[in-house]
Chains A and B, each alone.
Chain A
Amino acid sequence: MGNTRILTREFEYVAPETMPELLALLDRYGPAATIIAGGTDVVPQLKYEKISPDYLIDVTKIAELRTVRRDGALHIGAAVRLRDVKAYCRDNETYACLGDALGSIGQAQVVNMGTLGGNICTASPAADSALALLVLEARVRLIGSGGERVVPLDAFFRGPKMTGMEPGEVMAEIQVPAVVDHTGSAFRKIGRVAGDISKISCAVAVQSDGERCLSCRIGMGAVGPTPMRMPGVEQLLSGRAIDAGVMDEAADRIAADISPLTDVRSTEFYRRRVSRVLFKDTFDQAWKRVQR
């Protein structure tokens, strides 16, 4: 049994203030270093002794990682607090599903301390913001000493707690493309209590002409190794007039395409059963948001 009251192992804490400093530290320390931003995931990992780094590199002092700017796409620095992203979404309905996702985090401490980049780098299949960003077709910009690259989010997640980030790389920002007209989006989840990560979650972004679904992106969370896009259902719905029959068909496909497990939070049976209705509810809400 570990000791979650204190961090029992010694480590060195460093807080660079510029990107070059950060990259140099990553190169110098290699796998002995762990990046910490809000700490809402890293600190529990330290306490559970799942990780025991010699160096903890705090990236929240780097100004470049803490800015939000817009140039068509929205660029959110990886170390921007969830609270600030949430406030931004409240003022910009375009990214409704991201606002829903951040609003669904019941623990004020997580919202205040956690960062958007951290929520993604944790690569939890149940990460709320990651699922919303997935259907917004977000990309992440990664920087290493050898250069930088931009990776679509759905290619970034490789498995539970596994990402496509190379050693020495750091996430600089999340890019959310401009949302095309007549698009609505929504995110919903089911947790055990208000302050919980999801048993199952769903995000939808749909473009419609009022009757037909012109295109859509659907994501399901906590039902597979990563936050998952549902290409089968997306194809099934694209170009179709939306009615109850079509929705039933799509919901059946969702339930068939996900691969949930039984774990401490819920059961495979339950997750599969409610995936249908959760998807319908979320789709419905996204659809209503287009009409407005």
Chain B
Amino acid sequence: MNDDRFEVIGRVTRRQDGHAMVTGRQLYSSDISLPNMLQARVLRSPYPHARIAAIDTSEAERLGAVCITPEDVPRVKYNERQVSVPAKTYRDRTVLPDKVRHVGQGVVAVAARTEALADRALDALDVEFESLPAVFDPHEAMRDGAPQLHDAVLLGETVLPIERNIACYREAVEGDVARGLEEADLVVENEFTTGRAYHGQLESKAVVCRPEADGGITVWATAQSIHNTRQLLGSLFDIPLSKINVQRVPIGGSFGSSIQMNSSVAVCVALALKAQKSVKLVLTREEDMYDHCKYPSNIHLTYGVKRDGTLTAGYLKTVVDIGGHNIQAYPLLGCMAGWFVSLYRLPHLKFEGTAVYTNKAPACAMQGYGNPQVTFAVESMMDTIAEELDIDPIDVRLKNYVGLGETFWGQGPTVRSVIRSCGVEEMLLKGKAMVGWEGRGSSTSKTGRFRRGIGVGRGFHTSGTGAPTPGEVIDYSTAMVKINEDGSVDCLTALMCHGGGTLDAGAKMVAEELGVPLDRVGISPSNTRSTGYDVCTHATRGVYCGGASLLRAAQDVKKILFDFASRIIDVNPDALKVRPDTNRGQGVVCLPGAPAKRITVAEVAKTAQIKGWGSIIAVVSHRQVNCPPCFVVNFVEVEVDTATGQIRPMRAVAAVDAGTVINPDLAAGQLEGGLCRGIGLALLEDTTYKPDTGELTCGGYLTDYKVYTAQDMPSLEDLSTFFADTYEPSGPFGAKGVGEAANNATAGAVANAIYNAVGIRLTEAPITPERVLSALTRDAEQLQQGR
């Protein structure tokens, strides 16, 4: 798919960091090694809920370890995620706690010359826990007399008492739901759940901290936002930001798990400051699995609908089990409301969300941020409505979806904008033809042990969190672009790449704008001291927001370039163009139609240097005033083995409306990856707990936390991807996001495919073979009783 409008945008190009990644030369946080560096380990609570009565570190110190206890760290209550405005930030944790709220929570940290010695020091620690009753179910946690995890937290600077373990509550109402339901010819309702999936990013969290001679620190950390990490460390340890340098380090996958500053970062810094030596702390896989997971959902959903399929009202009520700490439950609930109301037009709507503390690992954002959970429920319901009204499921969607020209508030009630590009219809109709929708038959027509079914799911994600007005969420990016004296280009930004090629996309935009060959546009290493603020690479904002800031900087640089060029070749700058000259490996500034009026970008830059005109450089801070929806459509075909309950995904069509696609192969890769994880959410992934001990059933080990691999997915011939033909007017070169959207529609499509195969609506994800078999058994018994 080559787009004639562009030189490099829309073309498959090789990633700049690809070679280093596949040859093992890319350095991640855990690869950082400094002279005289100590290795840290953390003693973690074996109890789900306990007061720490006494700590004795003397034996560990005798072994030569440096130890920190809750006494040695700042007592400041903080929230590790700094994306919301301070007034909407819930703060309930300290660097080390005096009370543990889940198994695996860090209590004491040690640093020693080697990791093995640090481990021995851990064994030598003597910590006395006073075990408290624990609660693992959010509904039980809300009952009177349930164990109370937090007495009070801070909301901004205000003390907020916590009652019945409710971390926060959020409501959104438009119109009158009761009236809307009365106006309906059909009311459908059901309850849906999704699991606490583990992010399963390849790289477990790692951090290295070096204390500097001037009292400052340098930090290499697994992080999606180096600036938020720096600011938080500055306020926790009372160090001026000018003395804190957080380096951007390539990240080995994230799926949202490092939006917040990882809990180990502050621990490592505290150790390094105490030891006055560099300290490295790398989580083991089991520590990582006790550190974070996806927000699970428990959703009660009601829709009112007219006989012709028009929705009259929608009411979604959700309880979210957030675990021991509140990382970002308040904005999550806002977004869940946003995902709900922005999927389908609802004249009357209501959303109620309650986030509840339990003694489990704290949940945080994971690919979709509440969106796959809500969309699983909504898309399942769209098929229920279609079935009840005997309308094609695709037609129900086409009739009700929120599209072009309509207002949407995907990122929550305070982030509203108008949709200016939309490929929903195109994707539904094209996908329908590709997958052979008309031939899928109804579940009642299917017999035999192995039954196939095709399901559809659609959804969207926002591209960032930008809005015309400042809201509850901070969203802007800063970029610097400069043309070097040989005509090559440096791009400097605090933007992050999680593996999807975000920075590479930024480089392509700069190359496109400046007419410089792509291999001459470099992404500079960056850190907090050399870059302007970038909120965080999250919310599918990398290309749309971060890319836009690079493009704006490139546009400013281009003005300077043309100004300088016009002085040399004597052409009005407004008449100039710049194009890549592949023979020369250079960008060439030219006056179209005038062969004599040409000069390479290198000549302009070198001349500017020699003549002392200055560097061709620009810095831009840019906020997008929209967060347009990147729509997605999935068709999935499954085969259900009715004898074993096993479900195999056989075939899939995944499509995204990402506006202009920057790199088709990488975007397709996002679609495939999102589909794979979406199937995992539907069928496989959950972190369950042992009710007696509060430990993870899988122990934190990947041997018993399974994720799908290529072996479990449809073969490449059976997996098709395509892109809607759209152009987003507010996006850089017409681009929107992809990342999270890729994951959002899948679980619903899978559940609908299962229904189409066996005629049973399964609402409890993961839909394991055990659950399928139980449901099939119940269904058969009911059929028998009916006869």
Contacts and interface: CB of A to CB of B under 8 A. Distances in A.
A259 interface: no
Interface string B692-712: 000001101101101111011
Interface string B36-59: 000001001010000000000000
A194 B707 CA distance: 10
B450 to A, nearest CB: 12
B286 A8 contact: no
Contacts of A267: 770
A192 B709 CA distance: 12
B284 interface: yes
Interface string A252-279: 0000000000001111011001100110
Contacts of B769: 190, 270, 274
Interface string A162-200: 000000000000000000000000000010111110000
Contacts of B120: 8
A153 to B, nearest CB: 25
Contacts, number: 76
A1 interface: yes
Question: Most B CB atoms within 10 A — which of A44, A277, A278?
Answer: A277
B92 interface: no
A8 B119 contact: yes
Given A44-B703, A194-B711, A270 B286 contact: no
A10 B646 CA distance: 44
B285 interface: yes
B282 A5 contact: yes
A194 B284 contact: no
B737 interface: no
A233 to B, nearest CB: 18
Given A1-B286, A4-B284, A277-B644, A193 B707 contact: yes
Nearest to B103: A1
Interface string B79-119: 00000000000000000000000001000000000011001
Nearest to B700: A1
A195 B119 CA distance: 31
Nearest to A199: B769
A265 B643 contact: no
B115 A6 contact: yes
Contacts of B777: 273
A3 B284 contact: yes
Contact of A6 (B116, B286, B697, B770): B116
Contacts of B286: 1-2, 4
A106 interface: yes
B711 A192 contact: no
Contacts of B645: 270, 274
Contacts of A277: 643-644
A1 B44 contact: yes
A265 B704 contact: yes
Contacts of A264: 697-698, 704
Contacts of A265: 704
A162 B387 CA distance: 55
A10 B119 CA distance: 12
Nearest to B770: A270
B684 interface: yes
A274 B773 contact: yes
Given A6-B116, A274-B643, A274-B644, A192 B684 contact: yes
Contacts of B770: 266-267, 269-270
Contacts of B287: 1
Contacts of A194: 709, 711-712
Contacts of A3: 41, 115, 119, 284
Contacts of A190: 644, 646, 769
B644 A195 contact: no
Interface string B762-787: 00000001100110010000000000
Question: Most B CB atoms within 10 A — which of A2, A106, A264, A267?
Answer: A264
Nearest to A5: B284
B65 to A, nearest CB: 14
A221 to B, nearest CB: 15
A267 B645 CA distance: 13
A4 B285 contact: yes
Contacts of A196: 706
B116 A8 contact: yes
Interface in B636-655: 643-646
Contacts of B708: 193
A196 B701 CA distance: 13
B644 A106 contact: no
B448 to A, nearest CB: 13
A265 B698 CA distance: 9
Interface in B653-710: 684, 697-698, 700-701, 703-704, 706-709
A154 to B, nearest CB: 27
A242 to B, nearest CB: 19
A277 B700 CA distance: 32
B106 to A, nearest CB: 10
A45 B508 CA distance: 48
A6 B284 CA distance: 9
Nearest to A10: B116
A46 to B, nearest CB: 13
A1 B769 CA distance: 31
B701 A4 contact: yes
Contacts of A4: 284-286, 701
Contacts of B709: 106, 193-195
A278 B104 contact: no
A79 to B, nearest CB: 23
B81 to A, nearest CB: 25
B284 A278 contact: no
Interface in A222-275: 264-267, 269-270, 273-274
Interface string A22-43: 0000000000000000000000
A221 B412 CA distance: 51
A273 B646 contact: no
A205 to B, nearest CB: 23
A266 B772 CA distance: 13
Contacts of B44: 1
B586 to A, nearest CB: 46
Contacts of A192: 684, 706
B773 A106 contact: no
Contacts of B698: 264
A263 to B, nearest CB: 9
A236 to B, nearest CB: 21
Interface string B607-647: 00000000000000000000000000000000000011110
A10 B645 CA distance: 46
A196 B703 CA distance: 8
A273 B707 CA distance: 25
Nearest to B116: A8
Nearest to A193: B706
Contacts of B115: 3, 5-6, 8
29 contacts: A1-B44, A1-B46, A1-B284, A1-B286, A1-B287, A2-B284, A3-B119, A4-B284, A5-B115, A8-B115, A8-B116, A10-B116, A48-B701, A106-B709, A106-B711, A190-B644, A192-B684, A193-B708, A193-B709, A194-B712, A195-B711, A264-B698, A266-B770, A269-B774, A270-B769, A270-B770, A274-B644, A274-B769, A274-B773
Given A2-B284, A3-B115, A274-B645, 12 more contacts: A1-B284, A1-B700, A4-B286, A5-B115, A5-B284, A10-B116, A106-B711, A193-B708, A193-B712, A194-B709, A270-B769, A278-B644
The 7 closest A-B CB pairs, nearest first, are A194-B711, A277-B643, A8-B119, A270-B770, A192-B706, A193-B706, A5-B284
